[in-house]
Structure 1
Amino acid sequence: MARKTPSVAAPSPPAASPKLAADRIRETARRMFYQDGIRAVGVDALVAQAGVTKPSLYRSFSSKDELAASYLRDYEAEFWSKFEAGGQQHPDDPRAALMVYFDGLAQRAASSGGYRGCGLTNAAVEYPEPDHPARRVAVAHKAQLRKRMAELARAMGADDADMLADGLLLLLEGAFVSSQLFGRGGPARHLPEAAGRLIDASVRRRSGNKKGV
């Protein structure tokens, strides 16, 4: 009689590793700083929401100011991911690529959810001190965004790329701020159309000049 081979139970999948305290702090800061403002969120409330202790926070971040700067760097990475997504869909059409971002922003800004504009813009308003870590991150980001807008404007063939870039940036910042005032149905819903008309007028003017030469 053949011996039965004892069945071996399949190994249980390893349990998910608990999130590190620093990760929980960053995720909580991302949520609370954006929704309530950086200055309004105290360290006690933040660690309570994150389920960590104050010593855990200060082992990972030297101060609340440094945590604020870290939050903004994370936010900036999210921003560029959204901003450049259109370039993957329309690699040879800078106008269409930019419109992907503007269309998405108009939808987010006009929603009834907790949209509070751009966290980097908000931080620049909260912290006027030029040497504050949070403001330095915000200012550097906006300078890079202005440069990127100018690159896109040149790629579109604008007659005055710098002026078009600044005009688009003004529309963008206006959408960030006005969405917090008007919410659903506010002027931010017209951002794509307004930006499209500005782009087309600038490019058309250059095309007209070429025809007249």
Structure 2
Amino acid sequence: MTQPETSTRQRIVEAANRLFYREGIRAVSVDAVAEEAGITKRSLYYHFKSKDDLVAAYLDHRDQPNLDAYSRWFAEAEGDVSNRIAAIFEKLAGRAERPGWKGCGFLRTSAELANLPGHPALKRGAAHKKRIEDWLASMLREAGRPAPETVARQIALLLDGSFAAAMLHRDASYFRTAGAAARALAS
């Protein structure tokens, strides 16, 4: 692929990221993404076979940056593994207090596609959530905590639950409450 094609594809994915996160995947048309990217619909379909492929690329675009943020917040925090995991929840609370915060793009997309179990975006969402769980287990394992896989799964449930509750109630304190529970689990 030549550089201009890569640039156009990236512009499309970035436009989709802005629109899908802000408005939801079903509310945003392919025409709107093309317009936001400054291209024609035909050009969009040159890079993506379908809107489903574009939605999957949107989640792929969010995957590594989210994992990197968790890892960075964990590394920057002080204290033992339990304090470092709680710091992730504190950072998420700070993000949830921002006006444009709309929750977890993976969970929101999964909710919109719940009736389409084979959709590629659902597979991307499940893989992302599993990577977070596996990363948490590795941090707990490195710290010598017992049952790291079980505790990581419990913390992952706290993460997803706090995303849902904070979004539903528009209250970032759910992250802080879940962070205190995660700290206790990881101790």
SS in structure 1 opposite 2:145? coil
The residue type paired with residue 21 of structure 1 is T
- Quote how far apart the aligned CAs of 1:186 are: 4.2
- 1:106 equivalent to 2:98? Answer no
**1:26-175 aligned within 5 A:** 26-89=13-76, 93-109=80-96, 111-128=97-114, 129-175=116-162
Question: What is the TM-score with the length of structure 1 in the denominator?
Answer: 0.75
Moved over 3 A (4+): 86-97
Cα deviation, 1:136-195, whole Å, max 9, x if unaligned, reads 111111222222222222233333323311221111001111121122454223232222
Identity of aligned residues (%): 34
The residue type paired with residue 120 of structure 1 is F
Tell me, in whole angstroms, the C-alpha distance in 2 between the residues paired with 1:189 and 1:151: 23
Tell me, in whole angstroms, the C-alpha distance in 2 between the residues paired with 1:190 and 1:167: 14
Structure 2 gap segments, 5+ residues each = none
Bigger Rg, which one: 1
- 1:183 equivalent to 2:166? Answer no
Tell me, in whole angstroms, the C-alpha distance in 1 between the residues paired with 2:65 and 2:172: 25
Residue-pair matches, total: 182
Structure 1 gap segments, 5+ residues each = 1-16, 201-213
Relative to total residues, which structure has the larger helix share, 1 or 2? 2
- Quote how far apart the aligned CAs of 1:88 are: 4.0
Aligned Cα RMSD in Å?
2.4
SS in structure 2 opposite 1:116? coil
Tell me, in whole angstroms, the C-alpha distance in 1 between the residues paired with 2:20 and 2:67: 19
Structure showing greater relative contact order (alpha-carbon pairs closer than 8 Å, 6 or more residues apart)? 2
